Structure 1
Amino acid sequence: MEIKAPDLGVDSAEVSEIMVEVGDVIAKDDNIILIESDKASVEVPSSAAGKVTKINVAVGDQVSEGMVLIELENDAESDTDSQDTSQTTDEESKEVPVADKQNEPQSPQQEEKQNDTKAAESNDSKPTKKSGVATTHALPDLGVDEAEVSEIMVSEGDMVSADQSILLIESDKASVEVPAPQAGRIEKILVKAGDMVANGQDFIIIVSNDVAAGNDAADTSDVQEASTSKQAAASEPQTQTTGEPKQAPVKSVSVTNNVAASKSDSKLTESQVNAKSAEVYAGPAVRKLARQLGVDITQVNGSALNDRILKEDLFAHVKSSMNTKSTAPASGTAVRSSLPSLPDMSNTEIWGETETQDLTRLQKVSIPQLNYNTYLPQVTQFDLSDITETEKLRGELKGGMKAEGIGLTILAFIVKATAYALTQHPRFNSHLSDDNTQVILRKSVNMGIAVATDDGLIVPVIKNAQDKGIKQIAIEIGELAVKARDKKLSTKDLQGASFTISSQGILGGTAFTPLVNWPQVGILGASEATMHPHWNASKQTFEPRLMLPLSLSYDHRVINGADAAVFTRYVATLLADPRRILL
């Protein structure tokens, strides 16, 4: 009998593991092979029972729907033998006198089984305990595709009220507390700290308040009875029947940094990663993610069957590398700093007095994102924009807008000019593909605006900035800034940026090097505008002009120096005379 591949959902997929061998006797629906595509791993079950006589595929083969995977020997004959044996056994059992059976010595296992049966019959005569309805609840819309469970604020068995915070979810730029969807007792928590979760994923089971209290009392008596029964059974001699199947020990997944195995302080190249990971059990999508993160996949522990590495294992490895203080530089991880551990600073004669301060939650969440900058070849282009006339225009407009409750700052002009420049130079409004072979151009300009708060830097986003006027942009800048400082930004306010502006305003400084916010390819920094002497050729004299320093950092893999110089000068020209945007 031939077992063929079912509809796989894709044209073809790779055989990642063969779960049976020739000679194995399998049942219907037993898994026989594991196949993987770029997006998923699927275990293919057998459509019939029998003995495996031939395996027609090998690990690494590409299979498609209808392809013969294995061949089985029909087990009808073995079924017949089994039936004959069963009938003989039944006949023999009928011939044994009842009295003999009663007087026959019993094993401890048989006695225990009879005791359990009697206990069950006794329990049937008791009033039925009131059982509550346990409701499984799914996560609400998080505003992002996935986020990490940072903290679980409750435990199983706790009583919670509706809207009580029970879970803390963190993405790259924000923390969100998930409230309890109803009041009651927590029956089971389906996620754990460090898990990556998505919208609509089941995360908790809660028993409603009206039945939780009643069940607690009944559960207590059941536990006492079960405890008494177990103590009585424990006093009897225990024997182990070697013929019974043993339960396999639960595998403990331990993610370690493997620092001692590291031999290089630099990020592995793609060819080096591919060469070292040839023997690692991981699918194409996982290997692709490892190359993107710069992770040495041979140092990652797999948690799936046969130590297969999942995407979650990569994320856990990266997180562990961040949190573990190593005695030597780690190799091939996406978030290490290539620095040794701090020296022991307990000796005050050498180091003096020290004080430890915890980072804010926002700062901790930002660290993984900032570490990506280590692997971006960044260059910064500097320029000056003469905003003397633009500042005069702002002075004429700000009084009227202030009466409307709108604060008109130079940042609104910078956002508008930069958004227009990005439509004319779309390569700066793009992302580099994972395989480094394509540039993904964004058709809309979602402008990230860096805002300093007491907890750290946060970057809310103005959507479709290219379609908005300076007044509307000024309104949204003010609203986002207030929400950021009051910690009322939603995750949707923080996602989707295609380019970022970081303005130091009146903080001082002549220029700085802003860090590109991956996966973006550019960021524009603006420092404090100051008066400079400028030569007027027509008047043959110097005159004071208000000059705004601009600092453009860019990903050199996507943008070259000449294009960066042209773009920065174009933004400077638009800021000097915003009327050009109308053309």
Structure 2
Amino acid sequence: MTVEEFRLPDVGEGVAEGELVTWLVQPGDRVEEDQPVAEVETDKALVEVPSRYDGVVEELFVAEGDVVPVGDVIISFRVDDGESATGDGESATGDGESDTDEAVDESGVPTETAAAGSETKPDPSGDGPADESDAPAGRTFAPPSARRLARELGVDIAAVDGSGPGGRVDEADVRAHAEGDADSVGGTDDAGAGSADAPEPKPAPTDVGSGNRTSAVSKRGSDGTAADPASPVPGASASAAVDPAGRDTTLATPATRRAARDRGVDIDDVPTDESRDGEAFVTGEHVRAYADAMESAVAGEDGADGDAAGGADDDAAGGADDDAAGGADDDAVDATGAVEASTPRAGDETVPYRGVRRTIGKQMERSKFTAPHVTHHDTAEVDSLVEAREELKPTAEERGVSLTYMPFVMKAIVAGLKQYPYLNSELREEEEEIVLKGSYNLGIAVATDAGLMVPVVENVDEKGLFELAAEVRNLAARARDRKIKPAEMKGGTFTITNFGAIGGEYATPIINYPETAILGLGAIEERPVVRDGEVVAAPTLPLSLSIDHRVVDGAVAAEFANTVMEHLENPLLLLTQ
């Protein structure tokens, strides 16, 4: 048996990173090739990551919620020697050296593994020998984040009493167990004193069979060993850890930034010896070490013991200091009651800004601050449209189609775009040209749990009402289930957003850049209209048309809206499209 590491593949069209949303397997589980092992959310969609091995899960290197760059190790497997030739699409070189240049013995097993000889490998959960017949029954249930913390604190995860369902161990349980051990030996000994009674950190499964390769979670030293948990910041002295780094730019995952906020630490002040793409990269371990060092320094200045072990005396002193500091901060608040935005308050909840939500935000920001928006509002009287739909619904149902008003609106929009092609265009600033699109691919904005997605219906001018109804329904359902493909959200030339389905009449929709226009639909309801000098109730459809004023003039927008309304008020005209 050998241990094979699996790296996060490119799960989308050139995406650089993904958030690991859910693990579908746990250490000790047997998996087959192509079996999904995790769900990963990119800035485009939620995808399943399949295994490339037949084997047993050795270790999970990433915690749920972590953002992982493509190419980082996320999981390792124990596989038979004959099954481990390729895994991540990376094969061993012909001269017997692996793709990481680590030494191997004659059997092709890394020398660190070979040196272990007949020694029993540690169980992935750290509970004992990895005998496949016993491991599942005696395995400790804990997420990767708790196991990682246990390794950092030198805690045997099997000895921790879990407070979760079925005895599941979380990070709080590990910390409580570690604090209990510290109290039992005095609680005031310095963490780096190296007491003989202190438990030694258990080796991570990667220490056996993974050579010197680094996991995406466990920090390793240059010699491949786990970083010393007693060191305030890897590669930095204790005094340096207290001094703020004062950087202008820092790279960190959202989870790390959240941890920094929770500890009241400025992420740019945290010392680090790691970098990515030439920028400083901070991990949760750096944040914890820096925050602990700062708190110890504050406690020491106020006459507290100042031990790094964080005993009961430190907790009491830290609490008093926090209260005093909090009072001073409160006094420093100006007369308006304004509080620094980064200061967490009781009852506040933080939600990660990443994945699809972050992509939507960036796209909206780019559109709003690039294209000067103007919104034209109007209302169509749609008595005839309501009647036409009612007449066609039985026929649609016979064909298994649920007929809504959307296909009628799509056909009416195409009629308008054919007459006013500048609303079906793209401004290419660098080339100083406007491209008038020859196809009519309409994006339909769909509200999902992850945010707004815009699947695209292609060649609307070539499809009938029933065909459009079926396609829109299918795309919308898969978008809500996060099963939509990235390619199905590309190539749009004009977008429709139907906020009337939720409730409302008018809005100022933001253009789906680089398109030049978007049409918002209000709810079709009976409203007062004037006919023959009298006010009567009639079904109306409010329209909100936003345009890029660099490309489309207000008069052209109004004429386009009039054409759309004309086709909605006289549905027989749609037969000409």
How does the TM-score come out when normalised to structure 1?
Answer: 0.49
Richer in strand (by share): 1
Q: Which has the larger radius of gyration?
A: 1
Query: TM-score, length-normalised on structure 2?
Result: 0.49
